[in-house]
């Protein structure tokens, strides 16, 4: 007779560990956990799936052709954090894990990419601004060695979609150099 131990362990796990806010048939993008820091709701209008148009700067005066992509946001960690992933028409794939750390009152966003795998995930930090944008920064030198930051801004955030821009900015904020723009329209809500 086979042992029932693995079966009983699985039942015990399901009885004592309720993950009511994870993705499910009813909530394919998960749900916000009411026990989460209120700031986790900063991404509420982005939760779901968007059709997006992405354009990257090639050089000082030229932008590449627009690339279509699908960008999906969902709650993870039982509704305590947010994950996103992009699937690009050229076969590229990227994603992020977004956690709000209450002790520092900041978002920490850990980025990963199939195009440029890394043993240490780069991370951005920041938060929601008074105008409703979500702004994140990461130290990054310009190609000429000038110290600065790579700034990511989510703007025009609505249930219907959002805009995104990535730009290098100098530490004194006098030089702003956009390198990437994305425009998204929601196709599936939570």
Q: 122-162, pLDDT tens digit by residue?
A: 899 999 999 999 999 999 998 889 999 999 999 999 999 99
Identify each DSSP E strand in 21-144 by its residue range.
48-56, 67-76, 81-88, 93-101, 106-113, 123-128, 134-139
Q: pLDDT (tens digit, 9 = 90+) per residue, 68-123?
A: 999 999 999 999 999 999 999 999 999 999 999 999 999 999 999 888 878 888 89
Q: pLDDT (tens digit, 9 = 90+) per residue, 40-67?
A: 999 999 999 999 999 999 888 899 999 9
pLDDT band at 4 (very low <50, low <70, confident <90, very high): low
DSSP H or E segment with residue 176: strand 176-189
Q: How far apart are CA 169 and CA 149, in angstroms?
A: 5
The helix/strand/coil state of 14 is: helix
Q: What is the CATH number of domain 21-189?
A: 2.40.128.20
Q: Which two tokens stand for residue 126?
A: 């920041």
Q: How far apart are CA 25 and CA 7, in angstroms?
A: 24
Looking at the predicted structure, is the pLDDT value of residue 181 above 70? yes
Adjacent-strand bridge partners of 176: 169
Do residues 177 and 66 make contact, with C-beta atoms less than 8 angstroms apart? no
Q: pLDDT (tens digit, 9 = 90+) per residue, 5-36?
A: 554 444 444 445 578 999 999 999 999 999 99
- What is the CA 128 to chain-centroid distance, rounded? 13
Looking at the predicted structure, is the pLDDT value of residue 1 above 70? no
Do residues 134 and 153 make contact, with C-beta atoms less than 8 angstroms apart? yes
């Amino acid at each position: 007779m086979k042992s029932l131990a693995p079966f009983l362990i699985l039942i015990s796990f399901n009885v004592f560990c309720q993950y009511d806010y994870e993705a499910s048939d009813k909530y394919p993008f998960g749900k916000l956990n009411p026990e989460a820091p209120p700031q986790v709701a900063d991404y509420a209008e982005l939760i779901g799936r968007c059709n997006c148009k992405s354009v990257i700067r090639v050089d000082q005066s030229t932008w590449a052709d627009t690339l279509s992509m699908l960008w999906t946001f969902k709650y993870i960690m039982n509704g305590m954090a947010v994950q996103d992933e992009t699937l690009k028409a050229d076969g590229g794939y990227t994603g992020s894990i977004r956690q709000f750390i209450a002790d520092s009152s900041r978002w920490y966003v850990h980025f990963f990419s199939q195009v440029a795998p890394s043993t240490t995930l780069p991370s951005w930090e920041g938060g929601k601004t008074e105008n409703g944008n979500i702004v994140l920064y990461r130290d990054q030198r310009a190609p000429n060695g000038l110290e600065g930051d790579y700034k990511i801004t989510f703007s025009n955030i609505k249930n219907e979609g959002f805009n995104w821009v990535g730009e290098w900015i100098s530490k004194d904020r006098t030089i702003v150099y956009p390198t990437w723009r994305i425009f998204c329209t929601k196709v599936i809500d939570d």
